[in-house]
Amino acid sequence: MFAYPVRARTAGFVIGALSALLALGIQRTNGQATAELFDYPGTALKGTASAQIVVPLQECRSICTSRSGCVGFDRRSDTGVCRLFASVDSAYDSPTFMAGTRSLLPAYRPPSNPPAQPSAVLPRTEPALPEPPDVNGRKVQYRAIPGDPRPIGWVYINVCTGAPVDATSLRASVNDFVFESLRLIPGRIEQFDRSTTPQCASVPKAIGYASANGQEWRIGAALQEMGPILRPLGIGTRADGKARDQSDRYRIDIWLSHQ
């Protein structure tokens, strides 16, 4: 594993139901959805948390604002724990918490920054970011995405016959996680015969590679950040770091085999 000049933050990851992510579950009453957040000092949220990280308040708010699937956040001041929510059911008073939501909380006190004038609920249009087309097929090079300065890395999932891990769920987990060192994009899922593929004879593992013009420490950092996703599935990590004759600057191959 390579040493790298950044401190990995303690991260807890919760996989939410896909339907909750699509619904963006805050129930709207007379409130309105907004690209900004309504502030609720001294408030904690109840709902489906999609991620939990330790960051300053402003960074917690900024991460939620930048993610289309985040409908609210709360942060506890004494521990620094920031929770990002895929859906919010209710809220309650708690002096150590600060919360923010995209819609007004029903049956709860007004936010500290209420809307200037009541208005009808309008359909929310998300800004379209350029995404690599056909990520299940051949990789497409995107060197930069507006508003996201992280280098691009690809994650390929190789499934050996009879592997006990659901590759589709794993791919969705990687796509939903906020990585700091790289913007990891799940690539294609490939199937392999366990009896004829040597890689299938070993334990499940994730191997990271950096190309000759890549920074090796980013692969090490990304693998460490993937720990909360991979460890519960029995998948180990290893940074190879060897220069590869490939078009990707950064690549992680996950081999799903038997224990």
Residue 38's H or E segment, with its range, is strand 38-54
Identity (one letter) of the amino acid at 245?
A: D
Sign of the torsion angle spanned by Cα atoms 199, 202, 204, 205: negative
Mean pLDDT throughout 92-101? 95
Most confident of 12-16, 91-95, 146-150, 233-237: 91-95
Give the per-residue pLDDT at 216. Answer: 86
**Can you give the pLDDT at residue 80?**
95
Q: Which helix (H) or strand (E) holds 58?
A: helix 57-66
Q: Which residues in 211-227 are b (16+ Cβ under 10 Å) and which e?
A: beebbbbbbbbbbbbbb
pTM higher than 0.85 for the full model?
no
